[in-house]
Structure 1
Amino acid sequence: MSFDLELTGRRVLVTGGTKGIGGAVVTALRQAGARVVATARTVPTEAPGGVHYIAADATTPAGCETIARGALELLGGIDVIVHVLGGSSAPGGGFAALDDQEWQKELDLNLMPAVRLDRALVPTMLAQRAGVIVHVTSIQHELPLPESTTAYAAAKAALSTYSKALAKEVASRGVRVVRVSPGWVETEASVRLAERLAAEAGTDYEGGQKIIMDSLGGIPLGRPAQPREVADLIAFLVSPRAAAITGTEYVIDGGTVPTA
């Protein structure tokens, strides 16, 4: 049996593609032979072979327009979109600490880039009757952390619902849409969250990690996922090997979300 994912030459856009899960996705797809355009506000000065970077603020309409136009110019079309961009900068303190501006920031970062880029690029997929879209959500849309991530979790829930609707709309025209829902992944952002929670609680980094573990109800596997593990799942899902998969969500969380 061959494990070739048959991604050679596939034209891929990855948002948030310089660090964490996004950086791992770029690496995995490039190694699988895909042609990759990655986005971030600040991009590397040197790109590895097979990768182009677009510097743009995807939280704005103008930034998304720059990304969509640049991806089509660089790739000559689009076969795969992986929406990794996301995160949270909202303060701790529960719902009362979240004013309108904080709510809008979470929506602008975690929902609207996918909405805008899909609106710009999915028509090209429909025209060729082929394409794959991955929306990276989060288990927090099921298990939010009230102290610190209420708005983030709500924005990811909105992304998940939007993804379901898009999947139903475009499946019959050859475009697949899937969701990947990570739990705690050991990225730069998760390290910062643990450090922030530790500082607020007057403990050390390990204590911050325990706060996260406890708030999630524990991780049966006993550790966070690694970015490359999430990237490998995404690489499979966007490949022809997963051609019959659409409209569903794949959870990669070490067993954090209880299952029946």
Structure 2
Amino acid sequence: MYVDSHCHLSFPELSDRIDAIRADMRAAGVDRALCICTTLEEFESVHRLATRFDNFWASAGVHPDNEGVREPTVDDLVALAALPRVVAIGETGLDYYRLNGRSVADMEWQRERFRVHIRAGRLTGRPLVIHTRSASDDTLAVLREEGGGQVGGVFHCFTETQAVARAALDLGFYISFSGILTFKTAEDLRAVARFVPLDRCLIETDSPYLAPVPFRGKTNSPAYVPFVAKQIAALKGVSIEEVARITSMNFERLFGVPARAEPDRDDLYK
């Protein structure tokens, strides 16, 4: 069975289709998912999914790209992390991809927001879900300055270089790969996936975005995470079942989620 370690089921593209999505997950052998929060305003919807369904969990955080939203404090995040089934802080990090005429120096508000999340992670012991785009040097620098290695977590939807992957691993983080790994243009990323030890890998969809081949361009779904596992299995020369088993164990270890009993999993989808 597979775990989607990062999806956005509260987003409008998916939120009205939860029953169908869960049926598709069941058919694909995907038994668990982590529902990721990107604003404080969204948290209630994300958390409701995790408390309604016993194979979903939630995070608490504000995405680095989101502007014009409620700014989180350490106290906000600590309080949300204490709620049932909240297992992570984030997604958080830095994103300099769309500066919109601003300089990197102008993005201090993003770096401060990131620091708030790391401090909340340290106080709660909840792992961090890291987003970094066109900002890897600063992402790593802030993590080091704030003691992010004491918390750990995952660099989600990884698209950076092998050097960045090595630095993240050295800090104690996991690396999560998405459907991008299956794209024809992603040979450099596939080389990174070969480098990252399987016992430090997670798999994800980041749905509704980044559907893997053969669904590229369509709305993504947690049911498609086996296609990411299939690509990793091919790169590492192991069975897809081994990738499913180890990435599921990694998910359980990182987020403190109990292992699923093997017998009848039909109850997960009632």
TM-score normalized with structure 2 length: 0.38
